[in-house]
Every structure is written in structure tokens, then in C-alpha cells.
Amino acid sequence: MAGGVNRKISAASARAHTRKSRQSSSFRLPSGMFKKILVVLLMGFLAWAYQAIQSPPPKICGSSDGPPVTASRIKLSDGRHLAYKEHGVPKDRAKYKIVYVHGFDSCRHDAIVATTLSPEIIEELGIYIVSFDRPGYGESDPNPKRTVKSLPLDIEELADQLGLGSKFYVIGFSMGGQVIWSCLKYIPHRLAGATLIAPVVNYWWPSFPANLSKEAYYQQFRQDQWALRVAHYTPWLTYWWNTQKWFPACSVAEHSTDILSRQDKELMPKLSKRKEYMAQVRQQGEFESIHRDLMIGFGTWEFDPMDLKNPFPNNEGSVHLWHGDEDAMVPVSLQRYIAQQLPWIQFHEIPGAGHLFPYAEGRTNAMIKALLTGEK
């Protein structure tokens, strides 16, 4: 046959050919590649999450990258150092010796009973006071193994190394007041008397009626409810929760004035001297100071304070609990319940007072006299 056959391609065939070409040229992942990418992304997210919840190592005072040591310190039996500060009359002529325990986000310089107590009363009664940096605060070494029991044992060792005698008094304010419960539990034989000033309560102590603790818990700001919830149920997230920027963290840690009562705001100018040493409080890191406080204070305790027995059955000493009825940080309702369960505690409820009432004129004088001399 002369010449080739001139074939005509239909429009339908052309369109089908075009579609097939486009489909064959589109990108497709090799089999199993999509799953591998998901696994890599998941591992990357988990690695990020792990890093986010890890706290940085503390900057130990006296170490090469840590703050300098400027305070007097003792070396504890486990090798840690405890920084302290002495107030009042010299130990050798003191009639009354007191160990003071500071509160949350504070240090040895925040010894309210020493700084606000009348000099005349100090001399008249012969009062010696030693305040100290709790582990991780100020210039005291952190204690990663810290428990509810460990701090009373630190206090006992501090008293022994300073030669305070077989018995001494303990006074604690706020979170430091909570520590006094542990002293009453673990070193009652060393105590001559004790005072708890606006002590922080743990809403998960078993003896609290559920309705009472729940009501008190929900009196807090929403951000504080979450901060304590995290510290209690998922303590390993405490550092992340209080450093992330998505949700508000603990209001006390953020120094919010919204949580202060009317009287607290009036007393705030009396705390102006704290600016001189405030940088020292968290200088070793926030995790081993304020975050550790939250985890221990609101974690699961080894005992229930309302199961404690009277450490002074023969009235050779006394235990006092002071609290303001307008305290917006620690609800007074829970302190009232504790006082009802422990009738051997002398409960002093102060009308119109907030959390900072010890700074009010003459208040410390009254608390010290009540503890040391029994003055009403």
C-alpha cells in the first residue's frame, strides 16, 4: 500500500490520555513513609515536651557558676550547708532561744519576729532568735530529697550545732508556719513551745471534711487552684506550669497584689526593705526554692496534723496558732476546724487582719509574750 494510514484520534481519547498522564506524574509517598514521618514528628514533640518540663540545675552558692557565700553557715550531716542569721541577745546570756522559719519566697532576712519585736522586750526577756534559709533559698544548699520530715531534722541539727540546748522554741510564718506541724510531729521532745503564724494549709489533708476543704479551695483565684492542683497531682509538671506563658501561674509567686486584703495593702510599705535582698531569695534557682515548696507543701503528706498529740501534756509548754479572719491567701475556716480538732492549741483569731498581720504595730510583741510568758 502506498503511504501510511492517517488515523484520527477522538476528543474523548485525548482527554483520557491527558488524565492518565497527570495521574501518573502526581507525587506519591513510598509505602510506609507517611507512618515514618508521623513517628519522627511524635518523637520530636516528646523530646520538646521532656525538655520543657526539666528544670535547669541549681546554681549552688560557692560553686564556680553560683553566687558567693556571704552568710554564716553550718554543714549538715548529709553534706549540705544551711545558712543562718542570729538576732537578739547573745546565746550565752539568753533565757529564751527561738528558731524562726521563714515563709514562701523568703529567706533568713525575713525574720519578722526579730525585725518587728520591741528591742525593750528582747532585752527584758533575754531573747535570742536564729533565722535560717530553708533548703534551696538564699545561701542554703538545695535538698532534692526534701520531704515533710527532713526540715525538722535540719532544724534540730542547726540547734545542736549552735548549742541552743536540749529544748528551744520554734516559730514559723505562712509556709514556714506549715513546717511547725512537722516539728510537732518529728521533734516534739526538743520543743519548749511553738507558734504558727498564718500557717499555710494543705487542702488534701485527710481529716478535713470534703465540703469544707472544697469550699476553702475554691475561694482562691482560678490560677492558684490550678497551680496547687498541678503541685499535688502532677508534681513533675510544677516547673513547667509555673514558667510557661500560656496560662497564669501561682499569684503569690508572681507577686500579685490582687490576693492581698485591705490591711495587707496598708502594711505593704513596711516590707520595702525586702528590696535590698530580694535578689538573694531565688538566686540558686526557682525550682529548688519556690517550686519545691509547692510540691512539698501541697503534696501527699506522711501524716495528718489533726492526728497529732499534745506535746506538752503537763503544761510545760504551749502551742499557739494566730490567724487573721480576712486572710485572702489562707482561709481562716480551715484554721478554725484545726483548732476544734486539736483543743490543746491556743487559737488566736484576729478580726480585720490579713495574711501580713505580723507587720502590724505591736502584733509581734503580743505573740512573743503569749508564747514565752503566757501573757494573754
β-strands 81-88, 127-132: how paired? antiparallel
Across the range 272-292, mean pLDDT stands at 95
Q: Which of the four pLDDT bands, split at 50, 70 and 90, describes residue 6?
A: very low
Mean predicted lDDT score pLDDT of the chain? 90
Residue 26 pLDDT grade (very low, low, confident, very high; cuts 50, 70, 90): low
Which triple of cell numbers denotes residue 156?
534540730
* Element counts in the chain: helices (H) and strands (E): 14, 8
More confident residue, 55 or 252: 252
pLDDT greater than 90 at residue 114: yes
- The answer to which of 17-26, 50-59, 363-372 has the lowest mean pLDDT is 17-26
Determine the pLDDT at residue 247. Answer: 84
pLDDT above 60 for 113: yes
Confidence of residue 40 (pLDDT cuts 50, 70, 90): low
pLDDT at 263 exceeding the cut of 70:
yes
Quick count: other Cβ atoms within 10 Å of Cβ 2? 3
For residue 159, the model assigns a pLDDT of 98
Least confident of 147-151, 157-161, 254-258: 254-258
Predicted confidence band of residue 148 (pLDDT cuts 50, 70, 90): very high
Per-residue confidence (pLDDT) for residue 8, from 0 to 100: 47
Q: What does each C-alpha distance from 309 to 185, 193, 201, 313 come to in angstroms?
A: 8, 14, 18, 9
Buried residues in 345-357 as b, exposed as e (16+ CB within 10 A): bbbbebeebbbbb
What does the pLDDT read at residue 38? 66
User: pLDDT tens digits, residue range 201-247?
Assistant: 999 999 999 999 999 999 999 999 999 999 999 999 999 998 888 88
pTM of the model: 0.86
Could you tell me the pLDDT band of residue 334, with boundaries at 50, 70 and 90? Answer: very high
Q: What pLDDT is attached to residue 55?
A: 73
User: In sequence order, which residues have a C-beta less than 8 Å from that of residue 15 and are 6 or more positions away?
Assistant: none
Mean pLDDT of 361-366: 95
Torsion of CA 130, 159, 309, 114, to 10 degrees: -10
CA 149 – CA 156 distance, rounded (Å): 11
Higher pLDDT, 268 or 28: 268
How large a percentage of the chain has pLDDT more than 70?
Answer: 86
Residues in the chain, overall count? 376
Q: What is the pLDDT of residue 376?
A: 76
pLDDT surpasses 50 at 3: no
218 to 126, 215, 226, 242, 289: CA distances (angstroms)? 44, 5, 10, 20, 26
